[in-house]
Structure 1
Amino acid sequence: MAKSVLTVKKLDYQVADRTLFKSLELDLASGSSVAITGPSGSGKSTLLSCIMGLIRPPGGTVHVDGTDIAGLRGAALARHRSAHIGMVFQFGELLPELSPRDNVALAALLAGMDRRTAYTKAKELLSELGVPDAVSSEELSGGERQRTAVARALVNAPALLLADEPTGALDAGTRERVADILFAMPGRYACGLLVVTHDPEVAARADRVLTLADAALVPAGSR
């Protein structure tokens, strides 16, 4: 049986007078993928922030790879996040002045990996994902930058891979190639993949599609 890499139970969260989550539940196992859809402002990105420990909800628990995020603070939280969570943002969020290899290796170095191993792993991942050598990441196309972001998210072999609108800034052809790569990751690296997206075609690639509506996650199409 695949182990659970993410377990969210009875999560509550409000912003001002709006209830974003009420007893929200989510479970994700290694080797599988979940896509979360929902209207803008429904709380999808906020949920990712809760999973990363950037927001601490007043109620409920979030376990990432068996550890309760709420029980961690400061450096301990940062170490757990770096070791167990990989994040892919909509616009890549690369350091433009650094090469693709430097961007990927930096994530490993910050996690405590030795320099030689970090650069070796970065080179291997970028080669596997088809990212060309470049002096700076500014030279890359949009799709190449996103593939670099995927490599950076994977370099520390995380149990959980998160992606926030990872294809939202890409053209149709590039979107398909990046989505192909992203949804192949759970099977290839035995991680869990959680994707937040407005794109129904991207969401349909996931093993499960959930909608965030009325402060809860429900199977897509059930409401």
Structure 2
Amino acid sequence: MTQGDMAEARPVLEISDLRYGIGGRSLFDGLSLLLRAGESVAVTGSSGSGKSTLLSCVLGLIKPDSGTVEVAGTSISGLRQAKLARLRAQSIGMVFQFGELLPELSPLDNVYLAALLARNGRGNGARERAQRLLEELGVPPAETSQELSGGERQRTAVARALINEPALLLADEPTGALDAESRDRTADLLFQVPRRYACGLLVVTHDPEIAARADRALHLSAGALEPVAARGGM
């Protein structure tokens, strides 16, 4: 996807003038972000700067003091819990630092379960789609997810996040618990996802080398997001 194509792609996340404070401290002070399908954005920042809180605002788990958050064209402000849960299940995929798989289930069942919980698993080939995703992402067959390596578990988590064909994929320190080799392989795969599956990717990471792989790297500081200069320009 060229820069021109990306500019024409549909917005999957629009954050406007977000403000949020806690304990007398302002985390977001007019923060804004636009993310389009096919694009990846990485957010870095010091510990306590609000990176994970930003993801919680996007998920509707934290209500900001003011500002708007739109996911796939739907404002999450004021949504009732049932509609918010449906939006999360159908439009947002989430990859956690430690995968958060059910260890007693196979990789296939972990992914298929996400489709069932979203009421997207009956009569529409969801199990076959889950198997195809795992194959595409290079996850080997296994009786339980405990048999997988750390990198394989994270690739399973990516497949689970993609099973419902979300518009937006969120990743919270997705390589933070991996060794160097698994980190690089997982990052390579993760940043291919937006163009491959026509979604937007927002990654929160403390690792500048991971952030540099994104189409845009932003630094969260003083309540706002600022572009990180490309390495060639530093």
Matched, 1:63 2:70: yes
- Match of residue 4 from structure 2: none
- Match of residue 96 from structure 2: 89
Q: CA RMSD in A?
A: 1.1
The match for 1:160 among 155, 163, 168 is 168
Give the ranges of 4+ consecutive aligned residues of structure 1 lying more than 3 Å apart after TM superposition. Answer: none
- Match of residue 112 from structure 1: 119
Aligned identity (percent) is 67
Q: Secondary structure of the equivalent of 1:76?
A: helix
Matched, 1:38 2:45: yes
Matched, 1:128 2:149: no
Q: Once the 2 structures are TM-superposed, how far is the Cα of residue 109 of structure 1 from its aligned partner? A: 0.7
Q: Map 1:143-222; keep pairs closer than 5 Å.
A: 143-221=151-229
The CA distance in 2 between the partners of 1:185 and 1:177, in whole Å, is 13
Q: Secondary structure of the equivalent of 2:195?
A: helix
Aligned length: 222
The CA distance in 1 between the partners of 2:196 and 2:225, in whole Å, is 27
CA deviation profile, 1:97-122 (whole Å, cap 9, x unmatched):
11110100011111112345221111
The CA distance in 2 between the partners of 1:156 and 1:60, in whole Å, is 28
TM-score (norm 1): 0.97
Q: Residue 60 of structure 1 aligns to which amino acid in structure 2? A: G
Q: Secondary structure of the equivalent of 1:169?
A: coil
Q: Once the 2 structures are TM-superposed, how far is the Cα of residue 74 of structure 1 from its aligned partner? A: 1.1
Q: Residue 107 of structure 1 aligns to which amino acid in structure 2? A: A
The CA distance in 2 between the partners of 1:100 and 1:115, in whole Å, is 19
The match for 1:23 among 16, 30, 37 is 30
Structure 1 unaligned spans of 5+: none
